[in-house]
Structure 1
Amino acid sequence: MQTDHERGAAPAQPRGRRGRRTALVASALVVVAAVAVVGALGLGGDGAQEGSSAPPRSGSTVPVTRTTLTERTTVDGLLGYGTEMPLPVKATGTVTWLPAEGTAMGRGGTLLRVDDRPVVLLYGTLPMYRELGLTAGTRQGTGQGAGTERGTQDSGGQGRTDETSGAPDPSASPTPGGAGAGGTGDTLRGMDVLQFESNLAALGYTGFTVDEEFTDLTARAVKRWQKSLGLPQSGTVGIGDVVYSAGKVRIGHAGVRLGSPATDDALTYTGTSRKVVVNASAAEDSWAVRGAAVTIGLPAGTSVKGEVASVGKSATAPEDGGGEGGSAAPTVPVTITVKDQKSVGRLESAPVTVEYVGRERADVLTVPVAALVALAEGGHGLETADGRFVAVKTGLFADGRVEVSGSAVREGMNVRIPE
């Protein structure tokens, strides 16, 4: 009778460590295969795979929330008083006095002195383009038939009428305009006269009607003004005696020295309010719309509100050619005003940042960007708390979150942030 050995039968597998190791390896292979199958199923299709049963991985979970996503972009800017512009000085002669740079100047202030005559700042939009005064025809007028309104306004008695008879007082100066009410064709008229008279009255020199007609009463007020300035009392305003601006100014740098001839660029100015100028990329300036709200970041770490006031219409290339590559995009200047000047503190010039709102998506489903997982076949997905994967379509990325959508995504569902 043959033994087992003689019949060629395999000897019995010994029990112990070696047997257990073989069993564990076989089990591990089964588990790996199962995970691979689940992963393949979970990463495919448009939604969750209900039949998958992969064990949940470690990591925190967050809910899908519905909110408004706002894309914010920050660019560099410069705080200051804006671009300096030359004052339209028309006085001729030698500059004998200049104000200090940074001086704030209001209506009636002396901008500079030429041949020791003050050049005075007034408010207006029309430039000084002619001499203002009485014409030859006005000076020779008789004043007969002049309106009582003009005569009674002058506190010095000019244009008075006799209180008993109502006839013109022969001691009074003739009312300008020549014979008859309304004057002659020689009377100086125009919007520049109205602009000057408005300034004269605002400075406290009254006694005339503020209108488009330069009258003898206007000339009398001019003489009183000239006396206060230490000027000869001619009653005539020379073309170089005043400079008009839209409002208060801040003196910039001088283009001439004392003793030099006065020129058009003798003095520069800016406004008195601090503002921010941003050189925005011409290709990405859609945010720069007049009236758009922005946030200005100051060097101290605080922020203030600003508003786009103007946008340049001409794009320019960077002065340095865009660096080594020379590929920097052309820029346009964007001026931003600050309504609350006190919020800026004492800063007069400083580099700042400007944050503006780009795109915005309201009432959308969002998750943290870290919750996105890349799908094997392309695109993105989310892993649910129980280990399933759902495909999603991404939208706007902003503030560390991303807009997601898909048939299997709903508000409040928990998704895992992979470790």
Structure 2
Amino acid sequence: MTSQDERTVERTAAGDGTVTGDTVSFDGGGGVVAQPSPVGTRGPRRGMRIALIAACALVIAVAAVGAAAGAFGGGGRQADASAPSAPPATTKVQRTTLTSSQAMDGQLGYGDTAAVRAPSALGSAQSGQSGQSGQSAQGGGAASSGIVTWMPSAGATITRGKPVYKVDQRSVPLLYGSVPLYRTLSPGSSGEDVKMLEQNLHVLGYRGFTVDDAYDSGTAAAVEKWQEDCGRSKTGEVRVGDAVVASGPRRVARAELAMGDPLSGDVLTWTGTERVVSVDLPVQYAQLAKTGGNATVTLPDSTTLDAVVTDIGTPTSSSDSSVSGSSPRDSSDSSDATSHSNATVPVELKIKDAGKLGSYQAASVSVGFAAETRENVLAVPVDALFALPHGGYAVEAVTGSKTEYRRVELGMFGNGMVEISGAGITAGTVVGVPQ
């Protein structure tokens, strides 16, 4: 008589081959025995064993297919009698918090690009008036004139006081601030742009003035020293285009002009210096992204990193504009629906530990936004689930020298874990998992 495999499922086999009751034992020959017995003992009811072998063959085959079907089949473990009497590895049922997520396509890079434009003749000629609106930055000489004599290379980082480019061998440095140089500054000028200039001069080491919003003789003297260091004539005045203003360090994305070109139009494009992840989030998922909210980013090599949402933009639409032949009112139903379905919300995220990005500069990534969180639940790794022959799932509970399959109800999935509940399932219960 063949010895039994003492794995049991929380059901028993009826005479017609169906599975009912509390437990099922699979024997070493592929049969099912109505009552479990200790590991290594021989089955006491040979007649029932023989009668059930044929009836349960299909059941055992289905269980084996379910077990091999993937994560829900116990990672490929066999569900028939050839399975060992003890799992290759074990874990414990945990009481934990699970978070499910919605995965979206994203792009790792340095964020949106902005153009640095040559100064306009209008902006330079109208001292004390605003320059043209919509410019991301201004630079150059007093007007759109001169020859470009130096340009930074793509990927270069430009910091405060360093040249953004040179025209006629005069440096056009970077200043940090939020107010561009939109007018000529000279003794007697006052305002936020004066304060911005003085703050930068002070950080760069120039002295002899008080950092405030008044441009006086001390400011003019410091400006003359700064102009000399930049290779400019010492005028004591700062004109539109004498410097480029940005909120912080910048990384060059592309040089639009080359040495020898006349200074005009876009000089270069640049970005921030920190690597960020950008996502065009479909508007129907907009509620998943909250400023300061957590997310996960999966790199092409499957490395998963923690990220935080730093910016949420204004929804944009890519609706089909080719619809014609009807008035706006007539087309509102279809076009509005299309507009809504194609609308996206630009979301920017920052990796919490940028050092873990390694050498990645730009890459397509997957971004997981938290969709639901359940606290204080019992959970096991997904691989610990076993597909039962007639549907449903169980875990292989280890009790002393025996293992038995206990039926479980599944809840939420998240973080490679699954919420479970059922008779005999408590925190600390030892269950089998694939090796």
After TM superposition, the structure 1 = structure 2 runs for residues 398-409 of structure 1, keeping only pairs within 5 Å, are: 398=414, 401-405=417-421, 408=423
Deviation at residue 389 of structure 1 after TM alignment: 11
Q: 1:67 to 1:266 in 2, by over 3 A?
A: same
Question: Structure 2 residue aligned with 1:93, among 141, 145, 163?
Answer: 145
| 1:313-370 residue CA offsets vs partner (Å, 9 max, x unmatched) | 2144499x9xxxx998644332222354433233322333434443222222346574
Count of residue correspondences: 315
Query: Distance in 2 between the 1:230 and 1:415 partners?
Result: 75
Aligned pair in 2 of structure 1 residues 398, 210: CA closer, same or farther (>3 Å)? closer
TM-score by length of 1: 0.62
Q: 1:35 to 1:206 in 2, by over 3 A?
A: same
Report the counterpart of residue 259 of structure 1 in structure 2: 261
- Corresponding position of 1:103: 156
Residue 231 of structure 2 corresponds to residue 230 of structure 1: yes
Matching residue of 1:65: 93
Contact 2:283–2:341 under 8 Å retained in 1: no
Contact 2:281 2:346 in 1 (8 A): yes
Q: Does 1:198 align with 2:199?
A: yes
Please tell me whether the aligned partners of residues 278 and 348 of structure 2 are also in contact (alpha carbons under 8 angstroms). yes
* Residues 413 and 80 of structure 1: CA distance in aligned 2, closer, same or farther (over 3 Å): closer
Structure 1 residues 33, 130: CA separation in 2 closer, same or farther (over 3 Å shift)? Answer: closer
- Asked if 1:349 corresponds to 2:401, the answer is no
Q: Which amino acid aligns with 2:115?
A: P
Distance in 1, Cα, partners of 2:157 & 2:396: 65
Match of 2:107 among 78, 91, 103: 78
Identical residues among aligned pairs (%) = 32
Question: Does the aligned pair in 1 maintain the 2:386–2:396 contact within 8 Å?
Answer: no
In structure 2, give the amino acid aligned to 1:403: E
Is 1:250 the counterpart of 2:299? The answer is no
Aligned with 1:273: secondary structure?
A: coil
- 1:204 CA drift (Å): 1.4
User: 1:214 deviation in Å?
Assistant: 0.5
SS at match of 2:228: helix
How do residues 296-307 of structure 1 correspond to structure 2 at under 5 angstroms?
Answer: 296-300=297-301, 302-307=303-308
Separation of aligned partners in 1, 2:230 and 2:17: 97
Matched, 1:113 2:155: no
1:35-84 Cα deviation digits (max 9, x unpaired)? 349746779xxxxxxxxx94469577999935223324544432221111
Point out which structure has higher relative CO (alpha carbons under 8 A, 6+ apart). Answer: 1
Change (3 A) 1:373 1:312: farther
How far the C-alpha of 1:131 sits from its partner, in A, is 0.7
User: What corresponds to 2:347 in structure 1?
Assistant: 334
User: What amino acid sits opposite 1:93 in the alignment?
Assistant: S
The equivalent position to 2:15 in structure 1, one of 19, 22, 35, is 35
Deviations 1:242-268 (A, max 9, x none): 1111111112213344423422x3221
* 370 and 346 in structure 1: CA distance in 2 versus 1, 3 angstrom threshold: closer
Structure 1 residue identity aligned to 2:95: T
**Alignment partner, residue 218 of structure 1:** 219
Task: In structure 1, give the amino acid aligned to 2:345.
Answer: V
Change over 3 Å in CA distance of 1:393–1:243 after alignment to 2: same
Matches within 5 A, 1:12-27: none
Q: Secondary structure at the match of 2:295?
A: strand
Aligned counterpart for 1:358 among listed residues 354, 371, 377: 371
CA distance in 2, matches of 1:119, 1:273: 23
Deviation at 1:90, TM superposition (A): 4.9
Contact 1:95-1:262 within 8 A present in 2 as well: no
Deviates more, 1:394-403 or 1:189-198: 394-403
Q: For each residue in 1:120-164, what CA deviation from the matched residue of structure 2 results, as whole angstroms up to 9, or x when unmatched?
A: 210101121111002xxxxxxxxxxxxxxxxxxxxxxxxxxxxxx
Q: Which runs of 5+ in 2 are unaligned?
A: 1-11, 24-32, 37-79, 117-136, 323-337
